[in-house]
Chains A and B, each alone.
Chain A
Amino acid sequence: QKEVEQNSGPLSVPEGAIASLNCTYSDRGSQSFFWYRQYSGKSPELIMFIYSNGDKEDGRFTAQLNKASQYVSLLIRDSQPSDSATYLCAVKPQEYSTLTFGKGTMLLVSP
């Protein structure tokens, strides 16, 4: 059974702080990892993806992947109130397979 685990939160951080969101997955052979942001009542939108061990940076966002530990994280630097949303981790277990989503972590950034 493919599993993707996230802490449901809410994770509360003050404006300007670094928010750290974590995700673990069960399938050791998983290929690709995605972070989506979802505002309440809206559809998920892709923030970034990663498929190699290490860090990948895009603006204020950094994804970190450690395949040995089956762990992927998303760091949001200089958090803004507009970052308040639910963040979904999604994993593609094999190259030609569908995505498995975690249940999401709610992030609250207070002014």
Chain B
Amino acid sequence: EAQVTQNPRYLITVTGKKLTVTCSQNMNHEYMSWYRQDPGLGLRQIYYSMNVEVTDKGDVPEGYKVSRKEKRNFPLILESPSPNQTSLYFCASSLYSGGAGNEQFFGPGTRLTVL
């Protein structure tokens, strides 16, 4: 089944404890992206990747890191989480970044709480 998977789905952690949220897709997509979703603020892009070893900042990259060593994986790293990073996180992928109608497929989401 074609899908985007994220792990963990739920995570409660404490301020300053490094964590990684994994994202994997099995559709051979070139483009992958991380979003956070907060009430009243909508979906905001954190980082994106056009292809392996190519990453760039989105609208809210502060406090986050990413890497794209393999085409299928795009982990999100919080080196020192803070309470303002409590949010619902989505990973998404699409075949390419360009082209009209290039659908983004979303993972199931990771609900992160930082105490």
Interface residues contributed by chain A, number (CB under 8 Å):
22
A46 to B99, CA, bound (A): 16
Q: Quick one: closest A residue to B104, CB to CB? A: A99
Q: Quick one: closest A residue to B41, CB to CB? A: A103
Interface residues contributed by chain B, number (CB under 8 Å):
24
Residues of A within 8 A of B104 (CB): 34, 46, 99
Q: Tell me which of B42, B58, B100, B101 contacts A102 (CB under 8 A).
A: B42
A102 to B43, CA, bound (A): 8
Q: Contacts A98-B48, A103-B42; is A49 near B100 (CB within 8 Å)?
A: yes
Whether A101 sits at the interface, judged by CB under 8 Å, is yes
Q: Contacts A43-B90, A103-B40, A103-B41; is A96 near B97 (CB within 8 Å)?
A: yes
A31 to B102, CA, bound (A): 11
Contact indicator A44/B97 (Cβ below 8 Å):
no
Q: Quick one: closest B residue to A4, CB to CB? A: B42
Q: Quick one: closest A residue to B31, CB to CB? A: A98
Q: Which of B48, B103, B108 has the most CB of A within 10 A?
A: B103
Contact indicator A32/B33 (Cβ below 8 Å):
no
Q: Contacts A51-B101, A95-B98, A97-B97; is A43 near B108 (CB within 8 Å)?
A: yes
Contact indicator B100/A98 (Cβ below 8 Å):
no
Contact indicator B100/A31 (Cβ below 8 Å):
yes
Contact bitstring A76-94, B, C-beta under 8 A = 1, else 0: 0000000000001000100
**Chain B 87-115 residues near chain A, CB threshold 8 A:** 90, 97-109
Residues of A within 8 A of B105 (CB): 46
Residues of B within 8 A of A42 (CB): 108-109
Q: Quick one: closest A residue to B35, CB to CB? A: A101
Q: Contacts A95-B98, A98-B45; is A46 near B90 (CB within 8 Å)?
A: no
Apart from A34-B104, A98-B97, 6 more pairs, CB < 8 Å: A32-B101, A32-B102, A44-B90, A44-B106, A49-B103, A99-B45
* 10 A-B residue pairs with CB within 8 Å: A32-B101, A32-B102, A34-B104, A42-B108, A43-B90, A44-B90, A98-B45, A99-B104, A101-B35, A103-B41
